[in-house]
Amino acid sequence: MPGRVARKAQPANVLTEEDSGSISLRRAICTIFVDTQKSTAGHRKAVISLRKIQEACCYEPANYKTGREGEDFDEDDFNAEIVRCVLRIVPVRKAEPVGDRVVRFLGTFLNIASNKDSEIANHADPDASSVPETPTSRLTTRILETLLPLLSAKEKTIRFRATQITSHIINSLDTIDDNLFHKLRLALLKRIHDKEAPVRLQAVYGLGRLAAEVEDGNEQDESDSDAEVGAGVLAKLLNTLQHDPSAEVRRNLLLNLPLSKEVLPYLLERARDADASTRRALYARLLPALGDFRYLSLTHREKLLRWGLRDRDENVRKATARLFRERWIEDCAAKPAEELEDGPQEEQPKVSNQAADPSLDALLELLERIDVVNSGGEGGIAQIAMKEFWEGRPDYVEYVSFPDTFWEDLTPELAFVVRSFNDFCRSSGKEDGYDGPRMLDGMLADKLPEVTMFGFLLEREIAKLLETVQAAAEGEDGDAEEMCVQREFVVEQMLHMALTFDYSDEVGRRKMFALMREALAHADLPEEATRLVVEVLRLVCGVDAKGEREFCGVVVEAIAEVHDILGEEEEVAEDSTSVDDSFHSATEHHIDDGAVQGKRSKKKRTVTRETAEADEGKALREIVVNMKCLHIALCMLQNVQCELEENASLVTMLNNLVVPAVRSQEAPLRERGLCCLGLCCLLGKNLAEENLTLFLHCFAKGHPALQTIALQIIADILITHPSLLAEPPIDPNTTTATEQPPMENMLQKQVLKAFSRSLKSDDHAVQSTGATAVAKTMLSRLITDKDLLKQLVIAYFDPDTAGNAHLRQSLSYFLPVYCHSRPENAARMAGIATGVIGKLATLREAMLDEAEADSGGEGAEGEMVKLSVVGTMLVDWTDPRKIVGFAEAAVEVGAGETHFLLAEAVFDRLNTSQVGKEERKVLFGMLGKLHLPPGGCDAERIKAVLTGLAEASDVASDQTSRNTLAKMQVNLLKMIREAVTAEREVEDPQEENEDYTVTALEDSVRDITLDGMGMPDAEGTRVQLGGDADLLSEMEEEDTNV
């Protein structure tokens, strides 16, 4: 704006005769602010109008004409009116959108006005080195200085609006006065600890902009406390990002903190945030804006993919999949790895929202960047990522092809591409989200080789794998181990593909059968590849009984061939020894006896040392070969379902391989042999019954690893053969005169003892395995022992199991499912609830006493779940409304009696003298949360609960407890009256007797009520019984009318 001169003190003729002469400056500014409240659409026009008024007040036109009458206003008047309007915004509540609109308008105006003032200043003095003071900068300073005291106001609305306006102005301007900068930083740092989350949100919004401008090493040397508070803005914001309870605050910091090497790990950490929207913001907004993903470390890439694609929230999973298939692949396609080595400084501009052409090299690099060898195994994150990739990129599905040259030198990335493509085409379709132009099954038949050709390709890769394994064993090549891992991965991917093929073609089936049979006989084949070979062989043999017998016979033959390696090596060693002996005997000369004796003793020592080393190597080789044979047998047993006694091959394998391994003195052989014996027991009930005692003995005497295996086997056997725990049959010759109580199953007693011992084990693996085994057997209704269930619940809440995540996670699923699946299970839980509360109360008191003795009781409260939480969970688990089938069975008497049983148990516990104050409070709290549905149980049960209620009134020391009992009493009296009336309607012939019964029952209830609830409370008052008396009188009137 040339021709204008900035002035501060001289007044300006703002409104002339050409304008509305009677309108004052305040009215003009207020009119503009009123218009901005209505909608954001007119903000641009309002900014222009307000800027004109500011220029008229702050700048003197060059062609200023005198002689006109009007009102004169200067810069101070304009600033005062703006501040006055800003103060009118401060009391506006957060829910009012007009406040947000005015704040937004204010930031826009200050930004535009500041830029125009800078243009005027630069035109007046283009050589100025410092930032000039302008009218807008003075206006900004005045607004912020006015708001500074309001940041610590007592009213939360004022604090919120003051912090919001301050933060918005900070983010709207490029420069702020230095002194004001430090004051704002200190004030906003105090607001990040405000008790109101909206205030903290606005504070971190402003500090996010200031954090980029502050470095702790460049702080001025000041001695006051404010300087100490202001130090480390970024560190305080990172601490807020990690620990602030408000998800919106954390999300705002995630998106506004500066992206630096120090801050990035804290930002990526939000992928595990408790809030789903924050996690989605990371994957949908932050990571796409971060730049090339290849500058992230391999650990960060793998964790981000794993956390995102396995997130519980569907939107987070979709955002992660979109990031992988749209951003990361585009980074690899836009800049190859060779160009990436030069650094990130040369960014090539690219058209937005335009994907690069499909490139196999880019896809291979993407898989290499996520370490597909380690993440592409069974259940690895690379499989999920590639499934999402193929679903979202139909252009790549059409692009990829697998000609003969593709198979010549398979790398792990190439093998994983073809394996993932095969899995996607065979398991997906248009109903699963694929939107390509061609059918997937037809595309698969065109691009992949036929089964026979694939067999030859797989044979070549297996040969390469065996060569690299032998080279790695000899240790000649330093890179042999890495090559062995890569070759093994390639073979595994091809075997996974073979598991999906159709072997109706007899030529291809025979080729694969011969190849699998030959590969299985190699002792050097890795274990995972061996497992897949056995599964492919099972598929090739056929799924019928004949194919199963053939499969077992072939595998047993392969085991025999692998075991024969030991015999061949022994024969080779014996032949070598005999040749050496014959050589020496043929060349020996006649020498004296003394020399012969000395040479013989020296030779004997040498031979003894060499023999010991040879024996040690032979024993080690024998263990390795036997472990290989047991592994093959284990894989075979996992793929058969026939009866053990009907399959001669399995019986032979059991007697010649498994039983000697179980009896072996070597721990690895014994453990693997035990696993094989357990699988054999699943195929034969007689064998299981004979060896179940052996597994119990292994658990009782074995080390933790053996105990874990034994528990798993015991649980599987019991679930497969549930009759093992049945009661012994009754002798048919027993008469009523000689009738004896039913015999107890001793095996069941031993199993319960083993399970109980496992839950008390110090080893986490044994404890979690035992809990899982008990949970499986209880869900199968094989075990119904209340003591074992009580032990499970106590273990779930016990602070000693806080570090056993596997145990807690298993029980978190089992306990509610067990209780809500059947009414009898919930009733069983109701029966042990009070015992659990009592035991946990004792544990809590002991823990608090120990903590108080050690450290004054600090931190002891957070180590154990509160008893009130335990009571709430027990009430929820036994809630009849959540039991499966409750709605259908609601009309039946006894369908919802679980909470009646719990109430009766609670009253029995309250009426004992061993209940502490905290436990009593929890028990009364549980009574207030019970759901007692009408018709949930019979009249006798209700009367029993009423009797306990009357007795428990003596221990109700506070008003809350007494109110709970009074409310429950009213409900129970109504239910008992309805129950008795219903019984009388059913049995009309005995009306007189029923009338007498009703009267007697009412009298007994009245006696219980008067005796139990009429005791004075702690304040000398008496519980009012008018409501109950009226209720009884109403019942009598109704009875008379009937």
pLDDT tens-digit profile of 735-774?
544 455 555 678 889 999 999 999 999 999 999 999 999 9
CA nearest 716: which of 744, 749, 691? 691
Residues 6+ apart with CB under 8 A from 994: 980, 983, 984, 987
Selected residue with higher pLDDT from 690 and 1000: 690
Between vectors from CA 476 to CA 473 and to CA 477, what angle results, nearest 5°? Answer: 100
**pLDDT band for position 20 (50/70/90)?**
very low
Amino acid (one-letter) located at 721: H
Phi, psi of 172 (to 5 degrees): -95, -20
CA distance 434 to 428: 7
Residue with structure tokens 């721990």? 667
Residue 254 in this model has a pLDDT that exceeds 70: yes
Selected residue with higher pLDDT from 408 and 74: 408
Percent of the residues in the chain that have a pLDDT greater than 70, as a whole number = 77
Residue 1031: per-residue pLDDT = 39
Residue 246 in this model has a pLDDT that exceeds 90: yes
Which of 4-18, 409-423, 596-610 is predicted with the least confidence, judged by mean pLDDT? 4-18
CA distance 95 to 283: 30
- Predicted model pTM: 0.80
CA distance 410 to 416: 10
CA distance 299 to 829: 45
Residue 250 in this model has a pLDDT that exceeds 90: yes
Residue 669 in this model has a pLDDT that exceeds 90: yes
DSSP states of 681-742: HHH-HHHHHHHHHHHHHHHHHS-HHHHHHHHHHHHHHHHH-GGGGSPPPPPTT--STT--PP
SS3 category, 948: helix
DSSP states of 506-555: HHHHHHHHHHHHHHHT-TTS-HHHHHHHHHHHHHHH-SSHHHHHHHHHHH
Amino acid (one-letter) located at 119: E
Residue 279: per-residue pLDDT = 96
Residue 473: per-residue pLDDT = 83
Residue 1015: per-residue pLDDT = 41
**657 neighbors 629 (Cβ within 8 angstroms):** yes
CA distance 1029 to 353: 78
Report how far apart the first and last C-alpha atoms of the chain are (Å, whole number): 99
CA nearest 31: which of 65, 81, 67? 81
Phi, psi of 504 (to 5 degrees): -70, -25
Selected residue with higher pLDDT from 35 and 442: 35
Residue 363: per-residue pLDDT = 94
Residue 855 in this model has a pLDDT that exceeds 70: no
Residue 590: per-residue pLDDT = 43
Residue 569: per-residue pLDDT = 58
Residue 431 in this model has a pLDDT that exceeds 90: no
Percent helix, strand and coil across the chain, each to the nearest 5: 70, 0, 25
Mean of all residue pLDDT scores within the chain = 81
Residue 73: per-residue pLDDT = 74
Selected residue with higher pLDDT from 430 and 207: 207
Residue 854 in this model has a pLDDT that exceeds 90: no
Mean pLDDT of 907-929: 87
**pLDDT band for position 339 (50/70/90)?**
low
Q: What is the residue extent of each domain of the chain?
A: 4-176, 299-339+357-444, 454-578+615-684, 685-727+745-800
SS3 category, 4: strand
Structure tokens at 958: 């506070």
Selected residue with higher pLDDT from 283 and 563: 283
Residue 82 in this model has a pLDDT that exceeds 60: yes
Which of 271-275, 679-683, 721-725, 978-982 is predicted with the least confidence, judged by mean pLDDT? 978-982
Residue 786 in this model has a pLDDT that exceeds 80: yes
Residue 64: per-residue pLDDT = 39
Q: In the chain, count H helices and then E strands.
A: 47, 4
**pLDDT band for position 911 (50/70/90)?**
confident
CA distance 992 to 974: 22
* Cα separation values, 650 from 534, 548, 645, 656, Å: 15, 11, 8, 10
Selected residue with higher pLDDT from 566 and 471: 471
Percent of the residues in the chain that have a pLDDT greater than 90, as a whole number = 48
Phi, psi of 794 (to 5 degrees): -65, -40
**pLDDT band for position 260 (50/70/90)?**
confident
| Residues pairing with 163 in the sheet | none
Selected residue with higher pLDDT from 974 and 705: 705
Residue 499 in this model has a pLDDT that exceeds 90: yes
Which of 516-530, 693-707, 1008-1022, 1028-1042 is predicted with the least confidence, judged by mean pLDDT? 1008-1022
CA nearest 878: which of 835, 931, 928? 931
Residue 103: per-residue pLDDT = 92
Which of 84-98, 149-163, 549-563, 982-996 is predicted with the least confidence, judged by mean pLDDT? 982-996
Residue 889: per-residue pLDDT = 59
Pick from 71-75, 337-341, 400-404, 984-988 the range whose average pLDDT is largest. Answer: 400-404
Pick from 212-216, 312-316, 854-858 the range whose average pLDDT is largest. Answer: 312-316
| Residues pairing with 135 in the sheet | none
Residue 148 in this model has a pLDDT that exceeds 80: yes
Residue 733: per-residue pLDDT = 58
Mean pLDDT of 346-374: 78
CA distance 281 to 879: 38
- What is the 3-class SS of 567-622, one letter each residue? HHHHHHHHHHHHHHHHHHHHHCCCCCHHHHHHHHHHHHHHHHHHHHHHHHHHHHHH
Residue 62: per-residue pLDDT = 40
* Cα separation values, 496 from 416, 531, 535, 987, Å: 10, 11, 9, 71
* Cα separation values, 217 from 176, 177, 214, 930, Å: 21, 21, 9, 61
Mean pLDDT of 332-348: 60
DSSP states of 74-130: -HHHHHHHHHHHHHHHTTS-TT-HHHHHHHHHHHHHHHHHHHHHHHHHHHH-TT--S
Residue 253 buriedness (CB in 10 A; 0-12 / 13-18 / 19+): buried
**pLDDT band for position 474 (50/70/90)?**
confident
